Amino acid sequence: MIGQVKNICCIGAGYVGGPTMAVMAYKCPDIQFNVVDTNPIRVEKWNDKDLSNLPIYEPGLKEIIQKCRNKNLYFSLDVEKHIREADMVFISVNTPIKTSGIGAGKASDLKWVEKSARQISKYAKGTTIVVEKSTLPVKTAETIKQILDTESENLDTHNSKKFTVLSNPEFLSEGNAINDLLNPDRVLIGGDDKSSINKLASIYTRWISKEKIITTNLWSSELSKLISNAFLAQRVSSINSVTALCEETGAHIQDVSLAVGLDKRIGDRFLQSGPG
C-alpha cells in the first residue's frame, strides 16, 4: 500500500509543516517530501547550511534536518512543480483570525487554505490525496472539495483529475514538537474514502502502532482538533483562576497543582499557571 505514495508535497513551511514533514522523511526514506512556501526568507532559512538558522527551534529538529535534507526532504519556492508531481498534498498554512469583514476578530481567515486548494486544483495531475493539516473550522473540507472540483472543471477539461480530501490535524506542544511527532498519543485521520485513509495510515505505521491510529469521518476529525484546543485552554484558564485564590488564602499554587494533578482522573498536564 505504501509503495503507491512516492511523492508528497506540503504547502506551508511553518511550525507544523516543516517539522512534520521532516519527521515523516526521517521515518520514510523511500518517499520524497517537498515542502513549499511562497516566503523566500523562510525557505532560505530551511535550506541554510548553518542549522542554527532554521526558522523555528525545536529540540531534535536540526538533527533530523541534517539527516534528511537534500536526500528525501527538500524546501522550495516552486509550488507548481511539486504539486504537479505529488501523489499526496498536505495543506499546512496559517489560519489567522480575520481582521476585517464578516467575523472580524472572531472567525478564522481561510484565504490561504482556499488559495492552496486553487493551486492544487490547477497544477495537480491524475489522482491526488489532499490532507488538511492546518487548524480549521468544522466543514472546511467541504469548501476545499468544492474548490478542487469546480476549479479543476473550469481549468482542465481534457485531463482527468480526481481529488479526495482527508483531515489529519496535528497535536503539537511547543518545545516538544519532535517528541510529539515521534511518540504521539494518537494519530487522527478523518475522511470518507477508505483507500486514501489507508494510504495515509500506512505512512504513519512506519513508526506508530496501529492501535494509536484513529479513523473518523471528516467532521469528527476537524471538530476533535478544536475541542482538544478548547479543553487545554480551559485547563490553563482554570489553574490561573486558582492562582488568584492561592494569593488570597496563602496557599501555594505549585503545591495545589501537584496535589490536584496526582489525581488520575485529572492528570498533571497543563496545570501550570501562566499564559499557556
Model pLDDT for residues 169-189, shown as the tens digit of each residue: 999 988 899 999 999 999 999
Cα separation of 155 and 151, whole Å? 6
Cα separation of 68 and 189, whole Å? 25
Q: What is the pTM of this model?
A: 0.90
What's CA 106's distance to the chain center, in Å? 21
Q: Where are the beta strands (DSSP E) in the chain?
A: 7-11, 32-36, 73-76, 88-91, 126-132, 161-167, 187-190, 213-216
CB distance 10 to 20 below 8 Å: yes
pLDDT in tens, 10-52: 999 999 999 999 999 999 999 999 999 999 999 999 999 999 9
